[in-house]
Amino acid sequence: MDTTIRAQVAIPARIDRLPVSREIWGIMLLAGVAWLIESYDVGVIGSVLPSLQKEFQLGAFSVGLLAIASTLGIVIGVIPAGWMADTIGRKKILIIGTAWYSVFSLLCGFAPTPAALVVLRFMAGLGMGAIFPIPYAMAAELTPRHFRGAMTAVLDSFLSVGYFAAPLIAFAVIPSMSQDMGWRVLFYIGGFPLLFVPALLKWMPESPRWLEVKGHTREADAIVSKLEHDIERRTGEQLPPPQIEAKSDTGNLDAGANRSTRQRGRYNQIFHRPYLKRTVMMWVAFSCILFIFYAIQTYTPTVLIQQGYASATAFLLTAIIVVASIPGKYAAAFAVERFGRKATLIWFTGAAAVAAVLFGLLHNPVLSLSCGIILAFFGIGVDPVIKIYGAEQYPTRIRETGIGLFEGVGRFFGGALAPFIMAFLLAGSGVPGSYLFVALLALVGIGTVAVLGTETKGRTIEHV
């Protein structure tokens, strides 16, 4: 094999033969906590909307605007952040984004008017968008290929913990405080991630695959060598030699990209073969799956209160529904490595579609709650599958750019528009019509993956 090719694929081959050790878990824990604390800030709006609606006498348009403010920020922040992460590194963007959204989340607690809160939530969303793609890119680039899908599902469960924490804290805080203070305290808590920034600075490494692609081979080698040394010293066993894989399609191989190819427009590459079909698939499927998530996360407390539950009970039931997504994500972690990414996406999203219809139609409290739990188990549980599947569609040199684009498009159509659409559907068609629409979108996502998707399970990400 050509020595240049051998040198360029050495880092991926060395990573792919590592065991899933405590060293890998430690890095992924940092990425998971970054997602956990961010997801609290994303999810908190659903818990404060009923209080804000009551205090400021907000109509459907104002409620929808508050609900989408941070998501609009995420949409605008995530696309350039993907390009920046491909340009200056994953670690720097993760740290900058965390510090940014923490400051503005804290300031939300001091907002004097709904208009000010909309602006501050939008600004916080810019930082949230910057870091959203980073953890699952790190999982794709630092985890051995035989555990890549499962690791992303485990990481994604941290998101559910944050989403679960928001209504649970609201259950404890809002009923015990004055109407204008409870929601402010929830935003004050959103400033705590600032305390996590020093840990990221000290312990989070840069992606060695990215470093190698950018020509920083010494830094990449140092990170992987330390992992290898620590694993061998702790286990007392020598690691197996790397297995170098050849690939005829140099268009998919980072090693085959010359410097001029790497420097030309990354967005241009994503819209040409072989990536165009993958990009279209991810934009449509991710939008549909995110709509399910935002319908559950943002409007479940409001729907339950409209159905006659007291606010404290609605928050508690929302927490129960959302927490069901955690075992759903672990089930997805098993399924993606057993049955593959594509099959898991189709079956989980299909089950969510059925549960959404039943959740909208059934009025019995026990049956409705059960369907809500099933909806979250499959509808949010599928999230890590679409994320790792998306990360596997692109080579390292354009991975964050590709992720940033499908995150941005998905969060615009499935996130920014979802709260507005749900607000007006709930006002016009009630709960049954709203969740029938959710189910129809789920079917659109299924069809897109079925027609355009290809299986990526077990394949080296440089060779997909």
What is the average pLDDT across 224-229? 92
Give pLDDT, residue 266: 58
**CA angle in degrees (0–180, nearest 5) for 306-311-316:** 110
What is the average pLDDT across 307-324? 84
SS3 track for the chain: CCHHHHHHHHHHHHHHCCCCCHHHHHHHHHHHHHHHHHHHHHHHHHHHHHHHHHHHCCCHHHHHHHHHHHHHHHHHHHHHHHHHHHHHCHHHHHHHHHHHHHHHHHHHCCCCCHHHHHHHHHHHHHHHHHHCCHHHHHHHHHCCHHHHHHHHHHHHHHHHHHHHHHHHHHHHHHHHCCHHHHHHHHHHHCCHHHHHHHHHHHHCCCCHHHHHHCCCHHHHHHHHHHHHHHHHHHHCCCCCCCCCCCCCCHHHCHHHCCHHHHHCCHHHHHCCCCCHHHHHHHHHHHHHHHHHHHHHHHHHHHHHHHCCCCHHHHHHHHHHHHHCHHHHHHHHHHHHHHCCHHHHHHHHHHHHHHHHHHHHHCCCHHHHHHHHHHHHHHHCCCHHHHHHHHHCCCCHHHHHHHHHHHHHHHHHHHHHHHHHHHHHHHHHCHHHHHHHHHHHHHHHHHHHHHHHCCCCCCCCHHHC
Give pLDDT, residue 5: 43
Give pLDDT, residue 288: 92
Q: Which residue has the higher pLDDT, 199 or 255?
A: 199
Residue 188's pLDDT band (cuts 50, 70, 90): very high
What's the farthest any 2 CA atoms get from each other in the chain? 71
User: What's the mean pLDDT when you consider all of the chain?
Assistant: 83
Residue 203's pLDDT band (cuts 50, 70, 90): very high
| pLDDT > 70 in the chain, percent | 91
Q: Which residue has the higher pLDDT, 461 or 135?
A: 135
Give pLDDT, residue 259: 42
Q: Which residue has the higher pLDDT, 60 or 291?
A: 291
* CATH fold for domain 9-237+266-463: Growth Hormone; Chain: A; (1.20.1250)
Chain center to CA of 376: 15
Place of tokens 């279209």: 280
Q: Which residue has the higher pLDDT, 86 or 285?
A: 285
Give pLDDT, residue 458: 63
Which residues have CB under 8 Å from 212's CB, separation 6+? 8, 10, 11, 220, 396
Contact 422, 45 (CB under 8 A): no
Which of 83-87, 174-178, 448-452 has the highest mean predicted lDDT (pLDDT)?
448-452
Residue 4's pLDDT band (cuts 50, 70, 90): very low
Q: Quick check: 2 pLDDT over 50?
A: no
Q: Quick check: 107 pLDDT over 90?
A: yes
Closest C-alpha among 152, 154, 189 to residue 168? 189
What is the average pLDDT across 305-331? 85
Residue 245's pLDDT band (cuts 50, 70, 90): low
Give pLDDT, residue 358: 92
How far is the C-alpha of 458 from the C-alpha of 343, rounded, in Å? Answer: 14
Q: Which two tokens stand for residue 246?
A: 């050849």
What is the average pLDDT across 9-17? 82
Place of tokens 């992460």: 85
Give pLDDT, residue 350: 95
Give pLDDT, residue 175: 84
Q: Quick check: 181 pLDDT over 60?
A: yes
Contact 355, 321 (CB under 8 A): no
Give pLDDT, residue 345: 94
Look up the pTM and report it: 0.74
The interaxial angle of helices 60-88 and 114-131, nearest 10 deg, is: 30
pLDDT tens digits, 410-436: 888 887 787 778 878 877 777 788 889
What is the average pLDDT across 193-215? 91
pLDDT tens digits, 374-415: 999 999 999 888 888 888 888 877 777 788 788 888 888 887
